Structure 1
Amino acid sequence: MKKIWFYFANIYIHSKLNVKLFLTITLIMMTTLVFVLGGLQYAFSLYDEQIYAKSAQVLMMSSNNVEEKLERVEEVSYNIAVDPYIQKILLDLQGNVKGYDFYRLEQKIGDELEKYIDPANYVHSIYLYDSAGREFLAGDSSKPIKNKDKELALSQADKYEGKNHWMELEGSNGDLISVRLIQSYGNLNFETIGKLLIRVHLDKIVSGLPKPHGDIAGNIVITKEDEIFYSEKGIDNLKEYHFNAKDDQGYSIEYIHGERSFVSHITTDFKDWTYWSIIPFDMMFSKITAAKYTLVLVFMLMFVFLISLGFKFLRKFTNPIQELASTMQEVQKGNFHAVNQLNPSMIHEDEIGILYRNFITMIQRIDELIQENFSKQLLIKETEFKALQAQINPHFLYNTLESVNWLAKTNKQKQISSMVEALGHLMRYSTNFNRDIITLEEELDILNSYLTIQKYRFDDRIDVQIDFPCHVAKYKIPKLILQPLLENSFKHAVEPSVYLSVIKLHVYQEEDKLFIRIEDNGPGIDPLILQKVKEGKVNPNGTGIGLNNIDDRIKLYAGEQYGLRIENLSGKGTAITVVLPVQTG
């Protein structure tokens, strides 16, 4: 794979400019298409999550409403079971009641049960059975319960011993029966005196739920143990689909009757029912899917159009560049007159036109420079000759100083001799340009020559203290950075003072940094001037070199973290610290 990549990369590198531009535009377009499609896919996934969140919210509200109303039915069932009037009638019916007496009690039970019929009409009917198994009915009698369902419900009443039990009626699409055993509470013997069945229309409850309108409303389905017992839009259409909830809640995209559907579910603690929401997926996403494919089609048409337009546009750039490249090859062979074949007037005022004109100007200038080269070489030779003559002057000065030194020794003038020797030593180091980096020991030697002259000048008005550990003597530093700093102290601290001036030079090392601190007891520097010195706005006089110059030299030599640090000692003088790297080689 790596070899194939290098192979195609090599082809691309050595291709012509128009081919490179074509491949680059193609790559950009294809990459953009991939990102657009990826973004659309990501947006669809976010939309799926939004639909799931909405459908989950609808399911939660639906389940809460359904279960709340069923709990009300349970309360009704309990109230009927413990109703003292109904209990008395059921106890009376245990006797040998016949004829008119039975008819009268039947009427009383019917009137009492009618009070419990739900005004919302989701309670379809109430069935009450006495201990003899006689049935008393209140509510709608148009759709009676099948005998096998009655027998199963009554047997469930015995099983749950007075507790409410919900039973789903098979094949009725959401009809439920609340089953409860009625026991006598009057004498606390809990004798069975009857059984109660309440038939509920689940469809009536679901139809009254608050639901969103449009495609997202979908279909609400309720299952128990993966078996459907209610569907808002009928059970027959969903018999082929197997509802299997692996988790308490979630969503998926399933095919139902060959049609994609967005299916979400939630399982509640009430009877372990699972509520399902089924939304036609294609109906929801038809417009979005159409927009997706339209976008891809438009993108491909734009790609073809831009490629064809780009070729014509690129030729306006590549053809002049190729012409310019062939002219450069001729110039490389020495044919400077090949530039005369170029016609910059035919080129527009764009970058290529500028390149044309600048190339012609450059070649003409090169030709002029070649013609002028001979005369300039003569001028350089003449300058070198004058530079050699200028070197005579320092030698003449050194010889003169030697003569003065010899004369001073002859006349036993030791001070004059010592000053002349120090001055000569100082000048030799200053005018020696062969070495830019010297050891600290050599720099201190230059400093001592300078101090010899200054001590004769100021006599006992100065006290110079030099302190440095022996191991730093061989460290490398830039040449002539200490003498200008010491001269700065003499100019600003010693000369204006009539008292004893103390100058301290202290050298110390911290890790990989070398610190050289020169401190005097002069009047110090005005903080405003000190700030201007640090900003480079003021260059103190005295050395002709300047503190900023020394700081720049150190930074060029070692880096930005090194250089000079100037401190005002609050009226007690000035301290300048040179920060250098520890350099031994």
Structure 2
Amino acid sequence: MNKKFTCIICFVLVMTALGTGTGLWCIYHSGNLLLYEATKESSDYSSSAIAERLSNTVDMTGMILADNSIQDLLSVASDFRASNNDKSKAFRTLSYVIPDYYQNFRQNGIYYINLYNPSYVTYSNPARYREVPPEITEALLAAAHEHPGDAIWVTDYCEEYGLFLVRDVRRAKDFQLDTIGTILVNINLNEVIQNSAGQVFDSAPPLYIIYKEGKEIYHSPKLENQAIPAISRAADYGTIGNPGSSCFFYTRGTIPEVGWEYLCLRPNDSVVQARFLSLFLSLSVIGLTLFASLLFSRKMFLSISRHFYRLLRKMNQFGKDEPLSPSTVFDYSGRTDEIGALHQGFDQMARQVQELIQKNYVNELLTKEMQLKALENQINPHFLYNTLESINSYAKAIEAEPISRMVEALGSLLRITLSKSTAKSVIESEVDIVKDYMAIIEVRFGDRVQYELSIPDELYHTPIPRLTLQPLVENAINYALEEIIGTFRIQITGKRENGMVILTVSNNGSQFPENVLENLETNQISPHGFGIGLLNINKRIKLQFGEAYGLHIYNVESEDLAVVQIRLPEDQKDI
């Protein structure tokens, strides 16, 4: 019992631990999800701000392309027929215009703007321009020429020289569309990202890694010496790094307009450490609580189980016919709880049983002796059969044929009804009993009784409880024959219908009370006489074959018939 109880307690505690652990995991996962949703919303807004600044830069180049004065000045610079004086005036004018655009749009992270034409270059900041090697500048201009008029983002040099936007200026006058200049804009991508993130995140701005077509084009300077593990492209958020060193919570997204993929990384060391510490403390407290619960439960069970062990010892003593001795360890006579009630009840029962044994022992011996004598005085069936045979022989000797038929039928009927054979009964054997019984009835009542037996031979081997048909026939005769003056007719038929074998016993001259079976079962009609037989037959059929089968009793008033149907299963296996 101790082992079973310990196993039950352990099972309950394990299930509790699993449930608690699952709850903690759900809380931990929900925390990640909430952090992701908060960070995702902020990073999406930040990425939209980045895209807006980049889009503003593209719009600025579009304004330069559409500026009529710039178109005219570039046309002069590109015209080989123009004088040097005209070209110098155009250069001086452009030297004021381009810096103005730079001053107006520098908050978008623009580092400098250069405007190239066949005659000269206009700079917004010559010192910054000289930081870029000439061969890179030539490559940038070539990229613009490959797509005349389109704004081209060049990301190949982001790590060293920043992000570049290049765009050819095409002559709009008279729709000539020849290239008269090229705009080159250098953007400090780190400044764009920091300014955009600073608008969203109140605390320290997050770190970014930006990819174009799967290739990294930018990472925040603070990640310069950080080894960022590879991140599954299927994960939209998660944690990377090791707590205690460099741990980040990341979200993945795409910068609108340009379609660059980014990772937004937020330092997560303190959060992760706090969450791991909370998880460790929670699991420790749960473990200690479960262990203390196990010890306490076991101690409480032992304090209760010892009283049951004492009760078991009393039962063992009582089972061995040993006299019950009062407990010397604990007195249960004054205890009012369930344990006290059990001990008090058992002690009282044991005393009463011992008294009953002493009082009834002699009476039991006398009763046994009387039963033996009653058994000795019972009629021996063999003696009865031999007597009937003697009567039959005598009747034949004096040529009393009716008496001989009655005796033969009675003998056959008694052999079947008094037989203790365990063989299963079938409809054929029930029909034989009815034939013997009706042979006696025909001798008694002559032509007053007419009966018809119409059961197909194919139904004769259908199993049926013993003594089912004959009691129904006897009931019909006993309750109707005395009430009818004319001819009494009884009909026994059989058929298959709706997957059942249905035997019908119908007679004239009597009527069943309404709902006779239901009223007998609920004692609304006293089950005396044949009522007991009807209930007995109905219950035996239901017990053997199921609730769907049994007796169905009704009247056909138009023909003055009382009908009993016996419903049996058609397909019977292993019955």
TM bucket (normalised to shorter chain) is 0.7 to 0.9
Structure 2: which amino acid aligns with 1:579? L
Pairing 1:363–2:350 present = yes
Pairing 1:255–2:220 present = no
Q: Is contact 1:265–1:274 with CA below 8 Å preserved after alignment? A: yes
When residues 63 and 401 of structure 1 are mapped into structure 2, their CA distance, relative to the original with a 3 A threshold, is same
Q: Is contact 1:474–1:584 with CA below 8 Å preserved after alignment? A: no
Structure 1 unaligned regions, length at least 5: 1-16
Deviation at 1:550, TM superposition (A): 1.1
Deviation at 1:24, TM superposition (A): 5.0
User: Secondary structure of 2:247's match?
Assistant: strand
Pairing 1:452–2:439 present = yes
Determine the C-alpha separation between the residues in 2 that align with 1:50 and 1:189. Answer: 57
Name the structure 1 match of 2:427. Answer: 440
Deviation at 1:276, TM superposition (A): 0.5
Structure 2: which amino acid aligns with 1:336? P
Name the structure 2 match of 1:353. Answer: 340
When residues 285 and 333 of structure 1 are mapped into structure 2, their CA distance, relative to the original with a 3 A threshold, is same
Name the structure 2 match of 1:229. Answer: 218
Structure 2: which amino acid aligns with 1:506? G
Determine the C-alpha separation between the residues in 1 that align with 2:495 and 2:230. Answer: 85
Q: What are the equivalent positions in structure 2 for 1:180-259 lying under 5 Å apart?
A: 180-186=167-173, 190-200=177-187, 202=189, 203-204=191-192, 207-208=195-196, 218-224=206-212, 226-227=215-216, 229-231=218-220, 235-242=221-228, 244=230, 247=233, 250-255=236-241, 258-259=245-246
Deviation at 1:127, TM superposition (A): 3.3
Q: What are the equivalent positions in structure 2 for 1:117-196 lying under 5 Å apart?
A: 121-122=107-108, 124=110, 126-135=113-122, 137=124, 146-148=131-133, 150=137, 152-168=139-155, 176-186=163-173, 190-196=177-183
The CA deviation string for residues 328-386 of structure 1, in whole angstroms up to 9 with x for no partner, is: 45445542243575754367434432332343234334433543334303212203323
Name the structure 2 match of 1:87. Answer: 71
The CA deviation string for residues 463-521 of structure 1, in whole angstroms up to 9 with x for no partner, is: 41322326x545654221112233455578886696884623216599xx972411537
Name the structure 1 match of 2:457. Answer: 469
Pairing 1:319–2:303 present = no
Name the structure 2 match of 1:32. Answer: 16
User: Secondary structure of 1:254's match?
Assistant: strand
User: Secondary structure of 1:162's match?
Assistant: coil
Deviation at 1:552, TM superposition (A): 1.4
Q: Is contact 1:536–1:548 with CA below 8 Å preserved after alignment? A: no
Aligned length: 560
When residues 536 and 157 of structure 1 are mapped into structure 2, their CA distance, relative to the original with a 3 A threshold, is farther
Deviation at 1:546, TM superposition (A): 3.4
Name the structure 2 match of 1:13. Answer: none
Match of 1:44 among 6, 15, 28: 28
Deviation at 1:430, TM superposition (A): 4.2
Match of 1:299 among 286, 304, 325: 286
Match of 2:494 among 496, 502, 506: 506
Q: Is contact 2:251–2:263 with CA below 8 Å preserved after alignment? A: yes
Q: Is contact 1:223–1:230 with CA below 8 Å preserved after alignment? A: no
User: Secondary structure of 2:114's match?
Assistant: strand
Determine the C-alpha separation between the residues in 1 that align with 2:83 and 2:557. Answer: 123
User: Secondary structure of 1:93's match?
Assistant: helix
Structure 1: which amino acid aligns with 2:117? D
Determine the C-alpha separation between the residues in 2 that align with 1:488 and 1:304. Answer: 74
When residues 435 and 316 of structure 1 are mapped into structure 2, their CA distance, relative to the original with a 3 A threshold, is same
Q: What are the equivalent positions in structure 2 for 1:543-558 lying under 5 Å apart?
A: 543-558=530-545
When residues 258 and 337 of structure 1 are mapped into structure 2, their CA distance, relative to the original with a 3 A threshold, is closer
Deviation at 1:270, TM superposition (A): 6.4
Deviation at 1:135, TM superposition (A): 0.4
Match of 1:564 among 551, 563, 570: 551
Determine the C-alpha separation between the residues in 2 that align with 1:503 and 1:118. Answer: 117
Q: Which moved more, 1:337-346 or 1:363-372?
A: 337-346
Pairing 1:278–2:252 present = no
When residues 534 and 212 of structure 1 are mapped into structure 2, their CA distance, relative to the original with a 3 A threshold, is farther
When residues 255 and 342 of structure 1 are mapped into structure 2, their CA distance, relative to the original with a 3 A threshold, is closer
Structure 2 unaligned regions, length at least 5: none
Deviation at 1:179, TM superposition (A): 0.6
Match of 2:568 among 573, 576, 579: 579
TM-score (norm 1): 0.75
When residues 216 and 305 of structure 1 are mapped into structure 2, their CA distance, relative to the original with a 3 A threshold, is farther
Structure 2: which amino acid aligns with 1:227? E
Q: Is contact 2:207–2:219 with CA below 8 Å preserved after alignment? A: no
Determine the C-alpha separation between the residues in 1 that align with 2:282 and 2:422. Answer: 73
Deviation at 1:166, TM superposition (A): 1.1
TM-score (norm 2): 0.76
The CA deviation string for residues 62-92 of structure 1, in whole angstroms up to 9 with x for no partner, is: 5455445534543442453254443222112
Q: Is contact 2:251–2:264 with CA below 8 Å preserved after alignment? A: yes
Q: Is contact 2:46–2:200 with CA below 8 Å preserved after alignment? A: no
Q: Is contact 1:443–1:479 with CA below 8 Å preserved after alignment? A: yes
The CA deviation string for residues 33-67 of structure 1, in whole angstroms up to 9 with x for no partner, is: 34433442354345435544665565555545544
User: Secondary structure of 2:325's match?
Assistant: helix
Deviation at 1:394, TM superposition (A): 12
When residues 254 and 449 of structure 1 are mapped into structure 2, their CA distance, relative to the original with a 3 A threshold, is same
Determine the C-alpha separation between the residues in 2 that align with 1:384 and 1:215. Answer: 105
Deviation at 1:165, TM superposition (A): 1.1
Q: Is contact 2:197–2:205 with CA below 8 Å preserved after alignment? A: no
User: Secondary structure of 2:541's match?
Assistant: helix
Determine the C-alpha separation between the residues in 1 that align with 2:289 and 2:159. Answer: 58
Structure 1: which amino acid aligns with 2:373? F
Root mean square deviation of aligned Cα? 4.9
Q: Is contact 1:183–1:193 with CA below 8 Å preserved after alignment? A: yes
Q: Is contact 2:55–2:257 with CA below 8 Å preserved after alignment? A: no
Structure 1: which amino acid aligns with 2:163? L
Query: Percent of counterpart pairs with the same letter?
Result: 21
Q: Which moved more, 1:540-549 or 1:376-385?
A: 540-549
Determine the C-alpha separation between the residues in 2 that align with 1:107 and 1:493. Answer: 136
